Amino acid sequence: MRTPMSDPVALITGAAGGLGRAVAAQLAQAGWRLALVGRSSTRLAAAGPVDALRIEADVSTAEGARAAVARCTEAFGVPTALVNCAGGTLIAPLHRTAESAYRACLGANLDTAFFSLAAFVEALRNAQQPGAAVLVSSVVGHIGVANHEAISAAKAAIAGLVRGAAATYAPSRIRVNAVSPGFMVTPATQSMVATDAAREGFARQYPLAGLGTVEDTAQAIAWLLSPAAARITGQVLPVDGGFTAVRPLVR
């Protein structure tokens, strides 16, 4: 599918991942032109529509994130939407988390959000354009889940980043929100639900039946970027089947 050059431009990081691909599909359908960012052009090649721009960059550094936004601006124009799907999970108790694993977890989940958002708002402000960003938190950033200390710290920090940036950039007409998914089956997590018993075990923890999908979260992201959410900023929207709000009814 070819999209007209007048369509608005969205930059998606972690675009080769499970959630990133679903977001790309959702935003392409909503008429966005896409710049897809990841650390491997081979993995990116299989993601998104044919006419998407693919940018190999590590957005966990200020330099990498700026380079990604600059490449998008040069090819397509300034992106007016950012979705930071870059991330990676780490399941380990605090006392067994090596310093290198902790730093990698914070780098993939928090540094990518911080530096992508910084590069995005800088480009928008220079162009004097409004825009909207969606970051990705997690249920483990809001409620204690055993053996998730490093990722919980990173995902809780996303909420602080969202609120601070929403306040700073509201006068520039830049909205900043996050989604907070529960468990979704993606290449990163599918080994955790390889058996029916494991899948049912995960599902039982959620008040709403079944497991969430990347499409559920991608739809929420597309909505937060759309004019329908024009009055929403500084929010973290749970897409978690009730996991963080209510207790499941145990029968």
Ligand X SMILES: NC(=O)c1ccc[n+]([C@@H]2O[C@H](COP(=O)([O-])OP(=O)(O)OC[C@H]3O[C@@H](n4cnc5c(N)ncnc54)[C@H](OP(=O)(O)O)[C@@H]3O)[C@@H](O)[C@H]2O)c1
> Applying CB under 6 A, which residues contact ligand X?
13-14, 16-20, 37-40, 43, 58-60, 85-89, 108-109, 112, 136, 138, 181, 183-184, 186-189
| Residue of 101, 99, 93, 196 lying closest to 145 (CA atoms) | 93
The residue among 59 and 67 lying less far from ligand X, judged by its C-beta, is 59
3-state secondary structure 149-214: HHHHHHHHHHHHHHHHHHHHHHHHCEEEEEEEECCECCCCCHHHHCCHHHHHHHHHCCCCCCCECH
- The least CB distance from residue 2 to ligand X, in Å, is 25
The residue among 89 and 129 lying less far from ligand X, judged by its C-beta, is 89
The alpha-carbon radius of gyration of the chain (Å, integer) is 18
- The least CB distance from residue 231 to ligand X, in Å, is 25
- The least CB distance from residue 140 to ligand X, in Å, is 7
The residue among 39 and 199 lying less far from ligand X, judged by its C-beta, is 39
The residue among 65 and 166 lying less far from ligand X, judged by its C-beta, is 65
Q: Which residues of 46-75 are buried (b: 16+ CB within 10 A; e: fewer)?
A: ebbbeebbbbbbbbbeeebbbbbbebbbee
Residue nearest to ligand X (CB): 17
- The least CB distance from residue 176 to ligand X, in Å, is 16
The residue among 5 and 209 lying less far from ligand X, judged by its C-beta, is 209
- The least CB distance from residue 107 to ligand X, in Å, is 6
